Structures are given as C-alpha cells and as structure tokens.
Amino acid sequence: MKINKSEIKAELSSIFLNKTFDALLPPLIYTIINSIFGLKTALILAVITAFFNFTKRVLQKDNWKYSLAGLAGVIIAALFAYLSNNAGNYFIPALISSAFLVLAALISILLNKPLAAWASHLSRGWPLDWFWRDDIKPAYREVTIFWTLYFGLRLIIQLRLFFSNAVLNLAWVNLLLGWPAIIAILIISYIYGIWRLNKLGGPGVDEFKNNKKPPWDGQKRGF
C-alpha cells in the first residue's frame, strides 16, 4: 500500500494542521516574554496574542470556534499563573489536559470502544457501526494504545518538570510535545491505521454505507 505525501497533508490540513499556529503562538510568546520582562507582561501579551488570533479568524470569516476555545484556554491558564504569582502554574491546564487524555484513552480501551474511533467519528461523521466491526476496530484500538503511551509519557515529563519548578524547561516541553509532536503522532497513526485496516480485510466506510457485499476494496483514504 502506497500513501503519498499530498494525501497525508490533505488529511492533516482538514483536521488539525491549519490550527497549529494559533495553538503554538500564545505559549511561545509567554515563555519568551516571561524570561525577559517578567510574569505580568508575559501574561498580558499571551492573552493579547490569543485575542488577536481569534479576531483574525472572525474577520477572515474562517472557522473561529477553535480560536475562541484557545482564547478561553489562555485566559484560564493566565489566571492560574496570575492568582498564584507563579509562572509555572500557567501550564496547569496542560497538565490537566494530558491527564484527561490518558484517562479517556485507558477507559475507552477497557470498554472496547477505542478513543481513536470516537475521534474519527466526531471529525468525519462516519457511522459508529462501521468502527465497531471486528474487522475494523482492532486498527483503532491499536492506535489508541499508541496514543495512550505517548500522552502518558508526556504527562510524566510534565509532572516532573512542574514539581521541580523548572518553568522554562516545562514551557519548551509543552511546546515541543504539543502540536509539533501531535502532528507526528497523527501522521504515524494515519499511515499505520490505513495499513492495518487493509490487513484486517474489512470494508471501506463507503462500501459499508452502501451495503456492498465482499470481496471489498477496503479503506483506501481516511482513518
């Protein structure tokens, strides 16, 4: 099975890639400014940056809901840091997010309803019954296990740096293990997922929706 680069880029762009810049910029601004000018200036500029991203999306008539969620997240993170007067507390929401993802992934595996399948269903709108087939589900379960290992490792690193009060290192780890690493995880998940679906021999989602009888061509694009 051959997957070309343009296919991967199109898949990522349709889901996450166009949102990466908005997600990375506020914490990057916060980290740099905090190390030079101090906490309050860093918090103000981080919030302004997130507000600018949101305003830009609205004026461009782009999908602004993600930027609004990002703005809310930056404001909450800023409040954690400001009220405690502790720069490291800006990253408490990131710790909570990592812990939630690990917990959600583990529970989904235990319930045999893998998180990767739910994520694909919500982003693509494909029928849930397709994901739960015995010749489809193992691919999503294995990808969910991969996600669990990644988010678990990220949480351990974040907690170690947080409790050692290594604010600058924590900031850079959050940046590097945030969207840049997640994009890599998504690329690996996509390539492996398509390969695994074809090995399982189940129907493609369109074949499933059209009640096509075997033999099936399988899922060729989209995971």
For the stretch 30-88, pLDDT in tens is 988 988 888 999 999 999 999 998 898 888 877 777 778 888 989 999 999 999 998 88
Q: Is the pLDDT confidence value at 28 over 90?
A: no
Question: What is the percentage of the chain residues whose pLDDT exceeds 90?
Answer: 57
Average pLDDT over residues 162-184: 86
| List of residues 6+ apart from 129 with CB closer than 8 A | 208
Q: Are 216 and 203 in contact (CB under 8 A)?
A: yes
Q: Is the pLDDT confidence value at 7 over 90?
A: no
Cis amide linkage into residue 215, ω under 30° from 0: yes
**Residue spans per domain, the chain:** 5-209
Q: Are 183 and 12 in contact (CB under 8 A)?
A: yes
pLDDT value of residue 194: 93
pLDDT value of residue 27: 87
In angstroms, the Cα distances linking 5 to 116, 130, 174, 191 are 22, 26, 27, 11
DSSP letters of 67-85? HHHHHHHHHHHHHHHHHHT
pLDDT value of residue 66: 73
In angstroms, rounded to a whole number, what is the distance separating the alpha carbons of residues 223 and 220?
Answer: 9
DSSP state of 221: S
pLDDT tens digits, 122-168: 988 999 999 999 999 999 999 999 999 999 999 999 999 999 988 88
Structure token pair of residue 66? 């993600």
Q: Are 20 and 179 in contact (CB under 8 A)?
A: yes
DSSP element (H, E) containing 29: helix 20-37
In angstroms, the Cα distances linking 62 to 52, 53, 75, 220 are 14, 11, 22, 29
What is the average pLDDT value for the chain, to the nearest integer?
88
Record the pTM. Answer: 0.82
Instruction: Give me the residue label for tokens 């740096």.
Output: 161
7-11, 151-155, 207-211, range with the lowest pLDDT: 7-11
Higher pLDDT residue, 13 or 214? 214
Per-residue confidence at 9, pLDDT binned at 50, 70, 90?
low
Structure token pair of residue 172? 């850079």
Per-residue confidence at 21, pLDDT binned at 50, 70, 90?
low
For CA atoms 63, 68, 71, 76, give the dihedral sign: negative
